[in-house]
Amino acid sequence: MAKSLGHFSSLVSFTKTQLSRQCARLFFRTSVRRTVMRAVPSILSPKARDFSLPNPSWGDEMMRLYNHYNQQGGVDPEGGGEQGGRWTRLPSYNRSLKYAIGGVYLSKIIQSKARLFTRNIQQAGAAFEYVVFYTNDKQRCVCVLQAGHLLEGPPGHVHGGAIATMIDTVTGSHASLLCAPVMTANLNVNYRSPIPLGSTVLIESTLGEQEGRKMFVSCKISSSDGSKLHTEATALFVSVGVSHLLRG
């Protein structure tokens, strides 16, 4: 009798252990499923925010130039078509990943909410406020930049590193339209006159020579009316494989 009770007790203990394990597995699967189901709508949402669109921090000159170029063209959601007129606006969430096989969809799913670090300041108007347009033959790009107070270097003027950052951003975006993805191999910057904080300037990028995987681009920054030259630069970009970018 005692032996039977011991056997029964062992059986109950074994059943409880099995039941506990099954419940734990069920809880884990349910938790994972709930997490995935909650995440999927936001990940798959096609409504990626475009930081190159006007916001309340844009001044009159920024809006005037935006309207000037925007009225001559349209927006190319994938950065690869030729529509509208002479100029086409480049969305801020455009990414090199889209050039991989199926990359258009991957870039929307994985990087639809990613920001370049020039876009990562939460406060509108505090740092880099800019929009990039390119010609349909993709030989020229123009960027309208409004420099916020967080970009200060010399008192009352934009930091030289911030200027170089924007040159690299604009020329890199330009090179990517023609031969993507690319990486900066060389950047030479000549500072001519300082850029006042809060001012709006034009950054113009022009395609130079192409030699195999190499692409040379020239750039200049001038006042919005073109009367003052602030900066001149040349850049060399080298095309790389998408796998190289994914490996880091």
Which positions are catalytic?
A: 168
**Is 103:97 a contact under the CB 8 Å cutoff?**
yes
Q: What is the dihedral of CA 188, 233, 65, 132, to 10 degrees?
A: -50
Task: State the Cα–Cα distance between residues 83 and 238, nearest whole angstrom.
Answer: 27
Looking at residue 155, its amino acid is P
Cα angle 15, 18, 23 (rounded to 5 degrees) comes to 120
H-run or E-run covering 167? helix 160-178
Q: Where are the alpha helices (DSSP H) in the chain?
A: 2-44, 60-70, 103-111, 160-178, 242-247
**Residue 181: is the preceding peptide bond cis (ω within 30°)?**
yes
